[in-house]
Amino acid sequence: MDGFRIPIGSWVKAFIDFVIDAFGWFFDFIATIFAAFYAGAEWLFTAPPFWIVIIAIAAAAWLAKGWKLALGTALGLLVIVSIGQWNNAMQTLALTLVAVLIAVIIAIPLGIWAARSQTVSSIVRPILDFLQTMPAFVYLIPAIFLFGVGVVPGMVATILFSVAPGVRLTELGIRGVDHEVVEAGNAFGATPRRILRQIQLPLAMPTIMAGVNQVIMLSLSMAVIASMVGAPGLGKDIIQALSRTAIALGFEAGLAVVIIAMILDRITGGFGTRTRRTRTRAEQAESIAPSEPAASAVRGAA
Amino acid sequence: MIDQPLIERPVLEAKNLYKVFGRNPKDAVRRLAAGQTRADVTDAGTAAVIDASFTVAQGEIFVIMGLSGSGKSTIIRMLNGLVQPTAGEVLVRSASVTGASAPQLRAIRRSSVSMVFQHFALLPHRTVIDNAAYALEIQGVAKAERLERARVILDKVGLSDRAQAMPDELSGGMRQRVGLARALTAGTDILLMDEAFSALDPLIRREMQEQLVELQQELGRTVIFITHDLNEAMFLGDRIAVMRDGRIVQNGTPEEILTDPANDYVSQFVQDVDRARVLTAGAVMEPPHLTTPVSAGVRGALRVLREHQASVVFAVENRRLMGVVTDRAVIRAVKAGQTDLNAIVDSSVLTVSRDDLLSDIVERAVETPVPLAVVDETRRLVGVIPRVTLLAALGNVPATTREMPTIQSPIDMVAQFTPLVDAAAGVPAGSSTADGGVR
């Protein structure tokens, strides 16, 4: 066995070298955009005084679920402030949210496409398996080559790592929509686009939101690891603590990650279950309105 | 099978439809057309529908009936192009559904064919009225107008007070009313109903059937109804196509199917039918032998009674029913020396018309000792229904006595043979026959 070896590693390296030569401009372009996104998000979270940001996030929690979550959110964020991790936490949050946004923009259309085409599904599935099970650190190496050190390779690795559940659960959700309801749309002559918009997406929404929630959680965990390639945030302190075996710093930064994770999970979870109810209520209000006095007013005007 | 001349072109026509799922559908169709059976072609694919042809006329309720797996759901989906046939053609108002492109197909579905589903298939995230208006929304009707039209139909199906409810707040029957309203609101003249009432409990189902018939009479839509329930088929159908293993084995009116089943399969099927709801007086009546012209007088009546050894006779004038004469009245009249029959005719005799259902006339038949007289609009006597005929028709046995074929059911045979088997096995016979009977 000594003599025989498939040099997959060197092939991949050769491939990456080739990609850098040929598409360097493209990766520079992506790097610029991602960096700009991150800069914007970071400014949003770190520029205002911390209490304004806390009020804003607590308000989002209130909208998603209620005052209890808002209170818990505010307390959690205050703990982060009190252990001196506020700035790091906001950088991590910014990185996570930008990565999630991009991952969702990729995942949902891809999931829809996979749900509609068996071919796409069978091509996408092994790629997702690969992305999901490849040890997270491995993404960082080509990311450094392609994007250099800093926030962008961290973000790219985060997106790659977290996109899989978004695609999977979108596909699952759309495939799981009651076949007869989709058939009803067809039977009344609806176009595929309308069926997607009015039947499949709304009915798959809880599953898709579960996917988005997974994307967020994976992004957060990866955003910490991404600090190994120079991404700012809580991960930096954690890696520092690891190399210095500084228990105190490591625990504080770790606690901040946990708090951020819980807040993100509860808020997105809350929005996920909310989606259906608010939709229906809005539509009800809309359809009641023209029925009674408004309708007669319209008729009178006409 | 076109069994009556159609006044206009059929609304919907199915010509030699085949649907085969599997590896080699075209080959399977060729072999099926050459006379092979469904089982013969399993190597090439599963034949869901084999050589199905029928026409549906304007304003008709056409029922396709068969057990599960007989291909009826596949047929109805071929009628609006949800399933494309392997061979054959479907014409809706002379426009081919089978050859249509996707946009043409959508246009046909919007303008001509709507559908009601077994499990309702409502949009769970929309209100009842939005569901009812959904087809119009797809057709591009403005919001105010489509809600108005939906409201009119919801009113007809008795759901106007639940317009703002969500589907999951409604009972099954109400949900299917919404499904029906959605299809009716669409304004198409053809309504496909796929086992539409099968998921409902029996009482609601009966109610829905009656409502459907009422709505159909009021709105004049053409309905194609799929069911596995023969009673439902018989109640709703103007014509019924009975399917078995992918083929249409008989296509005819409910009465034809009941009284003249095409084969053993159909006749076994119709055994359990609630015949009273299907058969009409005209279908079971017997020729009126016991008649005497009023002009023949009392003597004439007496002669007829004596010849037929009967106790009553119908008095007619120009074939029009005047009433009945009983033997007692005749004897009394003869003794009194009367000759004019008019004097003793009892004109309060109960009459029924040809189209009356047996279920409606049973009660009247029980109240009177005299056979029921079947008359037409001009009160001409067209037939009579003696009580024995009525009972025979309801019990599905011939009214005349002759040797009857006895079909031994498996249960009877088990009951019959278990004692023998048990005796051989050394088990006391009495204990096991009881078991056999229960089984």
DSSP class of residue B341 equals G
CA–CA distance, B178 with A217 (Å, rounded to integer): 42
The partner residue sitting opposite A284, judged by closest CB among B119, B120, B164, is B164
Q: Which residue of B has its CA nearest to A283?
A: B126
What value does the mean pLDDT of chain B take?
A: 82
Q: Is B269 exposed, middle or buried (0-12, 13-18, 19+ CB in 10 A)?
A: buried
Q: Is A191 on the interface with B (CB under 8 A)?
A: yes
Taking the Cβ of residue A286 and every Cβ of chain B, the question of whether any pair is shorter than 8 Å is answered with: no
pLDDT in tens, B360-381: 787 777 777 778 888 888 888 8
What is the interface size between A and B, counted as CB pairs within 8 Å?
Answer: 84
A274 and chain B in contact, CB less than 8 A: no
- Average pLDDT of the residues in A256-264: 92
User: Are the C-beta atoms of B331 and B344 separated by less than 8 Å?
Assistant: no
Question: How does pLDDT run across B70-115, given as a tens digit for each residue?
Answer: 888 899 999 999 999 999 999 998 889 888 899 999 999 999 999 9
B412-436: average pLDDT = 46
In this model, does residue A9 exceed pLDDT 90? no
Residues 6+ apart with CB under 8 A from B341: B292, B294, B296, B297, B298, B300, B301, B315, B325
Residues contacting residue B184 through CB under 8 Å, at least 6 positions apart: B114, B153, B156, B157, B191, B215, B219, B221
8 Å CB contact between B236 and B61: yes
What is the pLDDT confidence band of residue B182, given thresholds at 50, 70 and 90? Answer: very high
The residue ranking higher by pLDDT, A3 or B57, is: B57
Residue B311 has pLDDT above 90, yes or no: no
**Is B139 in Cβ contact with A181 (below 8 Å)?**
no
Look at B115 and A187 and tell me if their CB atoms are within 8 Å.
Answer: yes
Candidates A181, A185, A287; nearest CB to B129: A287
Assign B92 to helix, strand or coil: strand
CA–CA dist B242, B227 (Å, integer): 10
What contacts B81, CB < 8 A, 6 or more positions away?
Answer: B90, B97, B98, B100, B105, B108, B109
Residue of A nearest to B186 (CA): A188
Nearest CB to B125: which of A190, A202, A295?
A202
CB–CB of B128/B138 below 8 Å?
no
Q: What is the mean pLDDT of residues A219-232?
A: 87
| Angle (deg, nearest 10), helices A151-175 and A201-225 | 150
Q: Looking at residues A93-122, what average pLDDT do you find?
A: 94
User: Is the pLDDT higher at B431 or at A203?
Assistant: A203
With an 8 Å Cβ cutoff, the interface of chain B facing chain A consists of: 80, 82, 105-110, 113-115, 117-127, 129-130, 134-135, 138-139, 143-144, 147, 151, 163-164, 166, 182, 186, 192
Alpha-carbon gap, residue B20 to A117, rounded angstroms: 23
**pLDDT number for residue B383:** 85
- In terms of Cβ atoms closer than 10 Å to its own Cβ (0-12, 13-18, 19+), residue B276 is middle
pLDDT band at A73 (very low <50, low <70, confident <90, very high): very high
Q: Kindly report the nearest CA distance between residue A270 and chain B, in angstroms.
A: 18
Contact B82 A202 (CB under 8 A): no
The mean pLDDT value for B273-288 works out to 77
Which is it for strands B320-326 and B312-317: parallel, antiparallel or unpaired? antiparallel
Tell me which residue in A189, A199, A287 faces B147 most closely, judged by beta carbons: A287
Extended strands (E) in B204-332: 222-227, 239-244, 247-252, 291-293, 312-317, 320-326
| Banded pLDDT at A182 (limits 50, 70, 90) | very high
In the structure, what pLDDT confidence band is assigned to residue A87 with cuts at 50, 70 and 90? very high
**Is pLDDT at B406 greater than 50 in this prediction?**
no
pLDDT at B9 over 80: no
pTM: 0.71
Nearest CB to A295; choose among B139, B144, B163: B144
pLDDT number for residue A10: 86
3-state class of B314 per DSSP? strand
What percent of chain B is modeled with pLDDT above 70? 87
Please name the helix (run of DSSP H) or strand (run of DSSP E) that holds residue B282, with its range, or none.
helix B281-284
Per-residue pLDDT band for B398 (boundaries 50, 70, 90) equals low
- Between A297 and B325, name the one with better pLDDT: B325
Chain B environment of A203 (Cβ under 8 Å)? 124-125
Percent of chain A scored above 90 by pLDDT? 52
- Both tokens of B184, joined, read 């009716």
Beta bridge partners of B322: none
Query: Strands (DSSP E) along B6-121, which ranges?
Result: 12-21, 46-56, 61-65, 87-92, 95-96, 113-116
All residues of chain A having their beta carbon less than 8 Å from the beta carbon of residue B126 are: 280, 283
Which chain B residue has the Cα nearest residue A194?
A: B138
